[in-house]
Structure 1
Amino acid sequence: MYEWIFDKQEALIKKHGTRDPFELASALGIIVLFEELKNIYGFYNTVCQIKFIHINASMEYEEQRFTCSHELGHAVLHPDLNTPFLNAHTLFSESKIEAQANFFATHLHIPKEKVDGVTTKQALLNYYGVPAQMERFI
C-alpha cells in the first residue's frame, strides 16, 4: 500500500544512521520549534524555503516525539505543502496526506525486526510509545 513510503524512510534512516525524528529533522536542516500551541499537537510549514516543525511544548515527551515524526513525514513526503494543524482530540485523520504522515511516523518508531514477547499490535505500539490510534498502520 505505502511501499514508496517505506523506501523513502529506509533511505533516510540508512543515510543518517538513526530513527530519532529530532536527529533526522536536524540532519535535514529542518528547524524544530517548541511552542505553546494550545490544543494543537503540531504542524509543518515552510517560510522562504526554510522548513519548520512546530511542536506543542505542553505535551509529554512521547507525544512530542511522535508529533515530530508525523510532521517529519510531511516534510519528507509532502515538502511543498504547509500542513493543516493536527486536531488536539485525536492523531487520527481520514485525509490522504495525514494518513501517509501517520504511516511514516508509526513505522519510523517501529522497526521491521520482531521484539521477543510482544505478540499483539497494541503491545507493539505500547512498547515503542506509539499512540494506540495508529494500530491501523501496522
Structure 2
Amino acid sequence: MQDYFHPQMTQQELLAMSSLALAHIGDAVFELLVRTKLCVEGGTTNGRLHQATIALVQAPAQARFALRIQPLLTPEEAAVYRRGRNAHPHGIPKHATPGEYARATGLEALFGALYLSGQTARIEALFAAMMEEDHAI
C-alpha cells in the first residue's frame, strides 16, 4: 500500500514528472507549512489566519522567499528550482509579475520534489530560513 504521507520517489521518478506537477504538490506543501506556522504561533481569528496565509503564499512573497534561500540550495536543488522557474504555466495572476510568478513556481517545484523524495527535514530547514525575517500576525 502506498504511504502518501511519506512518499519516497526516486530521482528518476521525479525527473519523469513535469515541473508543473512538482509545483502543484509543492504549492500544497508550502501552504500547509505556512498554515501550521501561523496556527502554532497563536493565530487569533479565522479571518486573520486567512489574510496572513494569503500574504505569505502569494507569488510575490514566494518569489522573495525563493531569492532568500537560493544561496542555500545544493546543485541538485538549484536544478529543480530552475526547472520549475522555467516552466510555462498557462496564466499569471494579475497581482504578480511574470518574474515573480516564475520564481514562485520554481520554489513550489523544489518543495514538491523534496516532499515526494521524502526529504521533509530539508523542507523544514529551507522553510525556517525563509521565515527568519517574516512576522505574519
Task: Judge same fold: TM > 0.5, yes or no.
Answer: no
Higher strand share: 1
Q: What TM-score do the two structures reach when normalised by structure 1?
A: 0.29
Structure showing greater relative contact order (alpha-carbon pairs closer than 8 Å, 6 or more residues apart): 2
Higher helix share: 2
